[in-house]
Chains A and B, each alone.
Chain A
């Protein structure tokens, strides 16, 4: 009767601990290789020269400053949006709005920036309206304005999406009590929303901070001049333009220390924060509204939707002519379709890899005991963000140099790195839902022997379908829109979609490039849409509130 200790398939703790640990270790080795090789190539690094340089001190200061402001603004926008979306679960266009919110982050920067300029630039739609209504206004996109606007555009939807996930899993009993007590405003926030958001806020802030800290092309295009320079620009300059490897390495280390330190703080706090039991019930519970709330909410969501839609419309209006042209040299679709095929070939494995990697990492973090052992898989969830891609690429290149013989290997590699780069986002999307299984359920599962593969297959999988689909969509789309990694490793003559876009840009084919940008955008809409359909639970699980034969007793 007594089976051996780990009778279920893959239930030995090692299966959950080791793969994620290896992944984290591999990544750390990669970074060490990249940084090490830079430091070794040209002797000693001159740390003092960096610290003493007025320019570089200014760069560090500006980088931190704009990132802090961006985080603040992002939260300021994302928080009310998430609260409103959590509160109103049924209004026409809600799911459309969620799809829209997924888009902005994954769009290639140059496409999104062009959209933003089309709306808020000197000749932009909004600016034109301002000119009409408010002659003499002093709005200018270029400068801190533009940087913050773009950062909010990129990050607020992601932040709102993650917060919404947390708010939607607020324990139903708590909501019911709050509803019964008629809590609203501050007290509803204190008793219901804040406890749900608190555990994820530090991580979310760190994520947004890191994204803005390492922001590059946006800052240069919209920043208005060299005063707006981030550390990543200086690293790029040192590495690709001046070939000053030691300086690049020193700057990369500074970046690692600042962002890594932040993540370390978050990670420490997380250790102390025990997972609260949160049961996920299906019925929505309406909280009491204050007068005018409906109006305010409608207005807020409409404004946010407009904020997201306008740049996308600008991208569409610019790209549409090219996609609708069939005359001229040749129809654009021949190149677009084959590039799409190649992009998918890279992005699908990258997305799947990122999701598996994220699950392994999260499993490993939950199983690891001791500071060091926990730190290794935890680092996977932020390291790819704060290590400049060039450093990562250099490390990987040095590790795998002999294997770069043919295209297939090259593409596997690109796929691999794209997967790695997408990991932090995918982990953010999956972390919350994975923690949704509370202590009670874990104990029941333990007792029933639903462990290892069984637990994953029978308990987590039904719970995680939707988040997994969303995470996969992020993974695929991020890899699909990525240009940096391919640029680094070189590609054979046949371009992927982003490479095609840059080829067109480099050859004056501006309207074709706009078409390709729009095509990418449409493709991402399809990817997110398709996966959100796939991720929906099967039909018979969806009739939630049909049967209520007995009135439910109080304690349920």
Chain B
């Protein structure tokens, strides 16, 4: 279970701090609702460890995360864009998610090919991200996120602006993850995303 308790944060110069407080059960998805600038992305960055909270705790299955470095947290994020290293090819981008030094076993290489296949990008290992469309890039990012097999997925507008077919494909993959017991935290403007994926809502 993910428990975020009284997590407070403010940017330099911001007067009133944000406070986040909610919890999600494993295999469930919570959708964060709020207008632009209400702190959705900030919350996801705090959970991921990219920002440092003022106070409060983040626990996953009872284990505190808030003092850990980003790479120690069992978390994968998918952002609206810029998920990929632009100068590395697709296979490398995914491979780095499996082993940070790219020391991959044969099995892991197969997993990458398979993942690309399942997301409708067969044989897309060698192009550079710059050669792909936005939807293709997001799917690559999602393949990486799924292959990492972390118990918590943070989704920051992952499908905004993509065409319906791609959205459909990605949602299906995410539902599979839920079924596997992965916890999802979703920040999305898209009513349909929320309807299909979320079990709970939390308003900022």
> Does chain A touch chain B in the assembled complex, meaning CB atoms less than 8 Å apart?
yes
Interface contact A443-B137, CB-CB below 8 Å:
no
Residues from 27 to 76 in B contacting A, C-beta threshold 8 Å = 45, 48-50, 68-76
In the assembled complex, which residues on chain B have CB atoms less than 8 Å from the CB atom of A453?
101
A-side binding surface: helix, strand, loop or mixed? Answer: loop
Selected interface stretch from B1-9, B89-97, B178-186, B194-202 = B89-97
CB distance from B25 to the nearest CB of A (A): 20
Once A5-B69, A280-B86, A447-B71 are accepted as A-B contacts, the answer to whether A549 and B133 lie under 8 Å apart by CB is yes
> Which of B68, B126, B130 interacts with A544 by CB under 8 Å?
B130
Interface contact B126-A540, CB-CB below 8 Å:
yes
Interface contact A553-B86, CB-CB below 8 Å:
no
Question: Is B117 in contact with chain A by the CB < 8 A criterion?
Answer: no
**In the docked arrangement, what's the CA distance between A551 and B96, Å?**
27
Residues from 246 to 303 in A contacting B, C-beta threshold 8 Å = 277, 279-283
**In the docked arrangement, what's the CA distance between A463 and B92, Å?**
13
**In the docked arrangement, what's the CA distance between A65 and B69, Å?**
51
CB distance from A274 to the nearest CB of B (A): 11
Interface contact B75-A546, CB-CB below 8 Å:
no
Residues from 111 to 125 in B contacting A, C-beta threshold 8 Å = none
Question: Is B21 in contact with chain A by the CB < 8 A criterion?
Answer: no
Selected interface stretch from A30-38, A454-462, A513-521 = A454-462
> Which of A457, A462, A540 interacts with B87 by CB under 8 Å?
A462
Interface contact B134-A552, CB-CB below 8 Å:
yes
Chain B minimum-CB-distance residue to A548: B131
Once A447-B48, A447-B70, A450-B96 are accepted as A-B contacts, the answer to whether A458 and B131 lie under 8 Å apart by CB is no
**In the docked arrangement, what's the CA distance between A221 and B69, Å?**
59
Chain A minimum-CB-distance residue to B89: A541
Chain A window 325-362, contacts with chain B (Cβ cutoff 8 Å), 1 for yes, 0 for no: 00000000000000000000000000000000000000
Question: Is B107 in contact with chain A by the CB < 8 A criterion?
Answer: no
In the assembled complex, which residues on chain B have CB atoms less than 8 Å from the CB atom of A1?
74
Interface contact B97-A443, CB-CB below 8 Å:
no
Question: Is B77 in contact with chain A by the CB < 8 A criterion?
Answer: yes
In the assembled complex, which residues on chain A have CB atoms less than 8 Å from the CB atom of B137?
556
Question: Is A309 in contact with chain B by the CB < 8 A criterion?
Answer: no
Chain A window 531-556, contacts with chain B (Cβ cutoff 8 Å), 1 for yes, 0 for no: 00000000011001111111111111
Question: Is B23 in contact with chain A by the CB < 8 A criterion?
Answer: no
Once A553-B161, A555-B161 are accepted as A-B contacts, the answer to whether A438 and B82 lie under 8 Å apart by CB is yes
In the assembled complex, which residues on chain A have CB atoms less than 8 Å from the CB atom of B97?
448
> Which of B72, B101, B136 interacts with A550 by CB under 8 Å?
B136
Interface contact A554-B161, CB-CB below 8 Å:
yes
Interface contact B85-A552, CB-CB below 8 Å:
no
Interface contact B131-A443, CB-CB below 8 Å:
no
CB distance from B9 to the nearest CB of A (A): 16
Once A280-B87, A450-B96, A544-B128 are accepted as A-B contacts, the answer to whether A556 and B81 lie under 8 Å apart by CB is yes
Question: Is B135 in contact with chain A by the CB < 8 A criterion?
Answer: yes
Interface contact A458-B102, CB-CB below 8 Å:
yes
Question: Is B163 in contact with chain A by the CB < 8 A criterion?
Answer: yes
In the assembled complex, which residues on chain B have CB atoms less than 8 Å from the CB atom of A549?
133, 136
In the assembled complex, which residues on chain B have CB atoms less than 8 Å from the CB atom of A457?
101
**In the docked arrangement, what's the CA distance between A453 and B103, Å?**
13
Once A1-B74, A444-B83 are accepted as A-B contacts, the answer to whether A458 and B133 lie under 8 Å apart by CB is no
In the assembled complex, which residues on chain A have CB atoms less than 8 Å from the CB atom of B131?
544-548
In the assembled complex, which residues on chain A have CB atoms less than 8 Å from the CB atom of B71?
446-451
Chain B minimum-CB-distance residue to A457: B101
CB distance from A6 to the nearest CB of B (A): 8
Interface contact A281-B72, CB-CB below 8 Å:
no
**In the docked arrangement, what's the CA distance between A483 and B72, Å?**
51
Chain A minimum-CB-distance residue to B93: A444
Question: Is B17 in contact with chain A by the CB < 8 A criterion?
Answer: no
In the assembled complex, which residues on chain A have CB atoms less than 8 Å from the CB atom of B162?
553
Interface contact B87-A448, CB-CB below 8 Å:
no
In the assembled complex, which residues on chain B have CB atoms less than 8 Å from the CB atom of A8?
100-101
Interface contact B100-A451, CB-CB below 8 Å:
yes
**In the docked arrangement, what's the CA distance between A2 and B50, Å?**
18
In the assembled complex, which residues on chain B have CB atoms less than 8 Å from the CB atom of A463?
87
Residues of B within 8 A of A (CB): 45, 48-50, 68-77, 79-89, 92, 96-97, 100-102, 126-128, 130-131, 133-137, 148, 160-163
15 contacts between A and B (CB under 8 A): A2-B74, A280-B87, A445-B85, A446-B69, A447-B48, A447-B77, A448-B71, A449-B100, A450-B101, A453-B101, A454-B100, A458-B96, A547-B131, A553-B134, A553-B161
A2-B68, A447-B76 are known contacts; what are 11 more A-B pairs with Cβ within 8 Å?
A1-B74, A9-B101, A446-B49, A447-B49, A448-B97, A462-B88, A463-B87, A544-B131, A550-B133, A553-B135, A556-B137
